[in-house]
Structure 1
Amino acid sequence: MGLILCLETATKNCSVALSENGSVIAFKEITTAGYSHAENLHVFIEDVINQSSKKLSDLDAIAVSKGPGSYTGLRIGVSAAKGLCYALNIALISLETLDILAQQVKEKSIIIPMLDARRMEVYSAVYNTDKKRIRDTQAQILDENSFSQQLSEGKITFIGDGVEKFEAICDHDNATFITDALPSAKDMAVLAEIKHKKNDTEDVAYFEPYYLKDFKVG
């Protein structure tokens, strides 16, 4: 069991949550087009600590969204997480950004989270109905044939800020589109607690965000 500070800065959403034993006890986030994470992140950390009546020294670990996503956003979040881990001498937990985003889907279906990259490019992964990843994260160029096999086999929920561009070229009856969702720190709590219990942590000195650069068609 642990008290974990969760940081999500991979997209336009600057999001901070404090979780205790896998449940969120304090939370704050803001979505801005201008990526104001550098100004907001440390203020939000202080705010959620104050909301909870806890102290930074009470923390057992820091969990950070490791990517893929915005280069600048990821650097800000990871730098803050590593700094806190060094200062407090506590563990660093990393979570894949698409794993976090997939947690928002409540329906029982295949889940394909998508984060916008540029033009027709997205970062995507595939999850089964239990939210277990069955295809790892890829940098992908979308076309009208993308995910055709999965769509022929059953219902799929596409979620994230990269979904709108796929919705424009996909009219399959098995596709459901959630276009206004971004990864949030409140969805990190359970995932972070699982890793904390397993002592699945990162080397603070050498940990770097997860960047994807090679895009594949389809």
Structure 2
Amino acid sequence: MIQLDRSNTAIVGLDLYTVAERHQLGLVDAIKEQIQYWKSNSYFVSASVHQSLDGVRVFTYSQWQPKFDHRSLQRSAVFGEFFPLDSLQLEVTASRSVTTEVEIAVGDRITHLAEFRMVPSNQPEMVKRTTAELDRAMSNSPGLISASFHCSLDGTRMFNYGQWESKEAFEAILKQPGFNPDKPYWEGLARNEFHLYHVVHTETAE
């Protein structure tokens, strides 16, 4: 079982891909093969592959023992056939859930990955705002299973990894104050975009 690490003991690797829709499944298969290689690394904890509902994105959420930079791993030449990889090291800054344990598993749940881009000087304030927004989101969003904010170690980005019971449950939050794109809580600090995914593959260290 893969769990979102809320105690900050694991380093998170996030690999983001944009791909032509006709190549999405091929990319997923290539990533699955890559993860088998990752599993031989003693720092490896887990990896999960996410496939976007719009057909043109894939991302891998991986967990590693502290002090390991997964970006140093060699990638297969097959990845050169796709758009350039965007690979980041992240740490969890805040997390809330409706249950004690938050699991990443293949299934019908919707994963919402929101990306916030900013200048490094704005990241500390974004950490404060996102931490405050988590409690409000969890108490006012039926269908929200968990939300975990991560900051990039270079200070330029944050990500919200959210789990939802359905696409309809996610879309309902966009009508709430603070999440409505017309007046968002990140206004003046960051640029935001988000996409929806299904988890299609998971692996853990043996």
Q: TM-score normalized by structure 1?
A: 0.31
Select the structure that is richer in helix.
Answer: 1
**Structure number with bigger Rg:** 1
- Of structures 1 and 2, the one scoring higher in RCO (CA 8 A, sep 6+) is 2
